[in-house]
Structure 1
């Protein structure tokens, strides 16, 4: 009873500070740059966490944009097929309307994220079942509906460069670019860390959850791509701007060919496209939540201009509403080039992946160069393989980040230029200039203020743990 009273007293005090629902979240939000600070040590920790936090924030905010753009692409295809297809006089959304859809999705996600945490939790449950059930329906139904399927030799050995579409005729260059799909899909490994404080046996279950997530994503993603590839009817027709989907979204044409070829109707394709759109919708909602929490955590540590504004928590909903709308506003700015540039998705995807994946490079590099006697291993430990694995991971991240800066369409013109290098160069240059001129004097890394409150108010042991 005495221990329970101590904990209750500590939580009441935290509630007075407006943090009751954010208790564990504040200790775990921004976990990636907490790892960077811890592994880099007291001397280099502030710089490491500064770089890692900003890269993660940039990656997450741009990640909202990737979901909004992809969702708008799918919605554009749904409207086109519902109104008669490109060949039948259907309506293809022009650039301005596409931008409106992009901004609309961003706005809706921001609105949802200003509600109480219970609303987001409920939508997350719907998202899980939507993507598991919907994804299963697509990968099973599509190959069964397609009148003909490609042989395994075509799927696993055939090579296409489509120079008439991309202007790229080099097979080696095409192989380099093809690896980007998997790298864009496989990130967010630290998401499980945001929940480990609320998990029993977190030192073991946390890493297991991360590896399990990677395994599940890999299997589902691979099966989804196989289902699409086996179901291709005419590869050369997929990118034709005169086809039924105007060559704007290849999976939409694959679905249309399968269902129209079998039933003479595009209804089935529209239904499956709606499932895909739902996946992007829920994905964008989730990434908006994560982006806001990282911006909030960085603001809590005074690492964002006007931090006092972005770290505010709504008094009743207990969500960082200002941080949510900041992320939405920046995401909207990223989408404005839709009006003039054809490769906006490539650029936003490049920014998202370089930011988020690049953030992992910081703690990985810190672990690789730190002295072994300074490292305190947990039960989930690679032992002698630790440094070689870190080296391979670090080199792979450097490689993929470099590739994401390359053009994906030739010849390079104003409407095909990948503006990611310029955008990242300007933003990261300003962030590092701020560090050199001012931030290095006061930024100390993740603030453990919740731990301090627990220790002070609830009888902690000095290490952020409550004595019960």
Structure 2
């Protein structure tokens, strides 16, 4: 027996029983790492799963990038790309689940813009297409709402995200079943599963390169499941419930996401019309045009399309709320170790609601700043999705690489333990992360001009350059890693 009452020689896969000291297993592990419990540990398995599921969301990744991925290489690579990416992403999720056991926004505005356009007429009938200034205002308004809601107790967010699960599961099922039934004609199975076609409008002539870019919709959609890991300090039995929430979120989204892609692709009426800037949705949002064509073709009105777009927009709203929750916990954890400027401010916990409120608002302000280029640059969404994906998925690489190289004797496994399979799984996961981060830095259109340039490499270079500069001139002198705070004042660094 070790000092915590666990069986030292427990075999792989066996649940190790905690000591009967009255502490939650997650709080005990937190104390072992040198941190005192500061946030409320009141999240159950279902609540943690709700936030993790809502962070991924069923529609937020697929809906905004569906059109561009379809354009690059046709339906076959879009459909099968989801299956391939799901397979490799599972390695990352399993690796993160083992580590956890041991330790949206722009597209939402885009969907809202389509709802307003179809509700006030169409692009052909004088409907209102929000200009860039109004679009930016919608984007910022949503961000502020998410920040306000996240300032309250986490239990409020968990309740909202519980609604989110049913909203997305029921709404997603309705869309997947109803859309192909409503469409007057449907595409053949051979078109959906085997048709490959590159588009001259992208300027990309290389077929392998087009396939790589077509996979981006899947790579962007299938992340965020690690939100459960960010909430471990607030989750009961986090060493068990965290991994379950991670794996179940990815599994459900993988299945439902593929069904959603199939429903959209089978329901396409005229592929060439989807991107026409003079069509009913001004060629701005391919899924909205697919919904419009299906319902207008059958019923000669767009009411059904608007209702389903509201369902999709609700998914964006819930996703943005959960992403804000998750991001704030990352900022809080970093600032608790003194790892970012003004850490004393960002690590403060609201005295009543016990949430890192300052960290929430920091994330909201940064999110709004990222949206400012909307006013001038047409390809800002590509840059935003690239930066977000690289930052989020790239963050997985650090603990996974550490788990891969750390000596086994220095790793204390939790109840979810891969045993000898751990290093091979981590290797595949790490290589997949490196590949994913690399492809999001590639140009997405040719020829490369100011209005088609992928600004993600530039933005990433600036951020990394500033961090390196800060490290060389200052941070290396005082930042030593985790800061134990058990038995110390919260205000000490």
TM-score bracket, normalised by the shorter chain, equals 0.7 to 0.9
Determine if the alignment matches structure 1 residue 337 to structure 2 residue 373: yes
- Kept in 1: contact 2:109–2:138 (CA 8 A): yes
Task: Find the counterpart in structure 1 of residue 423 from structure 2.
Answer: 387
Tell me the CA shift for residue 267 of structure 1: 0.3
Please say which of residues 265-274 and 199-208 is displaced more in the overlay: 199-208
Q: The residue matched to 1:22 in structure 2 has which SS? A: coil
**TM-score when normalising by structure 2:** 0.76
Distance 1:390 1:6, change over 3 A: closer
Task: Find the counterpart in structure 2 of residue 139 from structure 1.
Answer: 176
Q: The residue matched to 2:226 in structure 1 has which SS? A: helix
Task: Find the counterpart in structure 2 of residue 125 from structure 1.
Answer: 162
**Over aligned residues, Cα RMSD in angstroms?**
2.8
Task: Find the counterpart in structure 1 of residue 334 from structure 2.
Answer: 298
Q: The residue matched to 1:90 in structure 2 has which SS? A: coil
- Kept in 1: contact 2:176–2:263 (CA 8 A): yes
Distance 1:339 1:249 in 2: 18
Distance 2:177 2:454 in 1: 36
Task: Find the counterpart in structure 2 of residue 55 from structure 1.
Answer: none
Q: Mark the runs of 5 or more structure 1 residues left unpaired by the alignment.
A: 30-66, 457-468
Determine if the alignment matches structure 1 residue 22 to structure 2 residue 22: no
Q: The residue matched to 1:189 in structure 2 has which SS? A: coil
> What do the CA deviations read for 1:244-291 (whole angstroms, capped 9, x no partner)?
101101100000010001101100000000000010011001111111
- Kept in 2: contact 1:24–1:197 (CA 8 A): no
The alignment of Structure 1 onto Structure 2 pairs a total of residues equal to 403
Q: What are the residue-to-residue correspondences of 1:239-388 with 2, within 5 Å?
A: 239-388=275-424
Q: What are the residue-to-residue correspondences of 1:1-150 with 2, within 5 Å?
A: 21-22=39-40, 67-150=104-187
Q: The residue matched to 1:258 in structure 2 has which SS? A: helix
Please say which of residues 83-92 and 182-191 is displaced more in the overlay: 182-191
Determine if the alignment matches structure 1 residue 161 to structure 2 residue 198: yes
Distance 1:373 1:179, change over 3 A: same
Distance 1:125 1:91, change over 3 A: same
Task: Find the counterpart in structure 2 of residue 412 from structure 1.
Answer: 448
- Kept in 2: contact 1:143–1:230 (CA 8 A): yes
Q: The residue matched to 1:176 in structure 2 has which SS? A: helix
- Kept in 1: contact 2:225–2:246 (CA 8 A): yes
Tell me the CA shift for residue 72 of structure 1: 0.8
Tell me the CA shift for residue 168 of structure 1: 2.2
> What do the CA deviations read for 1:159-206 (whole angstroms, capped 9, x no partner)?
132222x22232211101112111111112322234556767654554
> What do the CA deviations read for 1:52-99 (whole angstroms, capped 9, x no partner)?
xxxxxxxxxxxxxxx121011111111111111111111111111111
Tell me the CA shift for residue 453 of structure 1: 4.5
Distance 1:144 1:103, change over 3 A: same
Tell me the CA shift for residue 367 of structure 1: 2.0
**TM-score when normalising by structure 1:** 0.80
Task: Find the counterpart in structure 2 of residue 220 from structure 1.
Answer: 256
Distance 1:202 1:119 in 2: 19
Tell me the CA shift for residue 437 of structure 1: 3.1
Name the structure with the higher helix share.
1
Please say which of residues 276-285 and 406-415 is displaced more in the overlay: 406-415
Q: Mark the runs of 5 or more structure 2 residues left unpaired by the alignment.
A: 1-19, 49-103
Distance 1:382 1:395 in 2: 18
Counterpart among 246, 267, 277 of residue 210 in structure 1: 246
Determine if the alignment matches structure 1 residue 434 to structure 2 residue 470: yes
Distance 1:5 1:151, change over 3 A: closer
Tell me the CA shift for residue 401 of structure 1: 0.6
Tell me the CA shift for residue 121 of structure 1: 2.4
Q: The residue matched to 2:105 in structure 1 has which SS? A: helix
Please say which of residues 179-188 and 438-447 is displaced more in the overlay: 438-447
